[in-house]
Amino acid sequence: MAMNIASTVSLQNGVKIPLLGLGTWQSKEGHEVEQSVRWALEIGYRHIDTAAIYKNEQGVGQAIRDSKIPREQIFVTTKLWNDDSRLGYEACLKAFDQSLQRLKFDYVDLYLVHWPVKGHYKDAWRAVEKIYADGRARAVGVSNFLMHHLEDLLKDAKVVPMADQVEMHPYLLQKPLMDFCRQHRIVQEAWAPLMQGKLLQVPELAKIGAAHGKTAAQVALRWNVQHGVVTIPKSVQRHRLIENATIFDFELSTAEMAAIDGLDRNTRVGPHPDHINF
């Protein structure tokens, strides 16, 4: 399939989300995050992912303004944090207002409930639906929701989540969740697509990469986008941003895709969504 750095997939409501984005988790507020976002935009990225808990929304917004690229050409995601979810509907609306203030935007392209906080995520989703109805988020979704969370949410939801951003990499495929999302037209996004650096220890990826003149990281990212999964690798190094974006000049074969699928160990590098305590 022919793809490039500008390739997108369509959400349920027709809004297009770029397949490749820049993640900003642990990118420090100020110079570090501003520089990484500026570099990414210069390279050709048009999708930036942040969150209230990352505490760098202000820098993300500043870098986007500094780029002089029209706001409507850049897809920006931010997320509702757990503490606000626990405080209820009104607190969730206030938290969104605060994110917009930090970004200094009139809207975001995608707003996500960051984690499925037990007993609270339905109220959080009601608030997100209100934000969407008011036109202040072009699209809305969830993050770290497993299949049973989505099934529960859909019992009462007026709006079906348009995206679910979850941990996904060769050691964590979550095929039933992927199939469920496709069935309900929920676009899947991958965080930690590089297993927080641990994929460098996966010899199978290095071997496939060698056949294409690519790194193990590039193979993992290409595997994601060939699955139609939006992927948001994080880096604050310019050469890594370029490397992560250079995944559109080769294609994995059906056999290679199946081989990478077969690496699945149901192993996480991050928290399990059913056992969050933050």
Beta partners for 47? 75
Residue carrying structure tokens 């409930």: 113
Given the residues 45, 54, 111, 132, the one annotated as active site? 54
Q: How many residues does the chain have?
A: 278
In the chain, what's the furthest Cα-to-Cα distance?
54
Buried b / exposed e over 85-94, threshold 16 CB at 10 Å, is: bbeebebbbe
Q: Is 89 assigned a catalytic role? A: no
Buried b / exposed e over 42-80, threshold 16 CB at 10 Å, is: eeebbbbbbbbbbebbbbbbbbbeebeeeeeebbbbbbb
Catalytic residues, which ones?
54
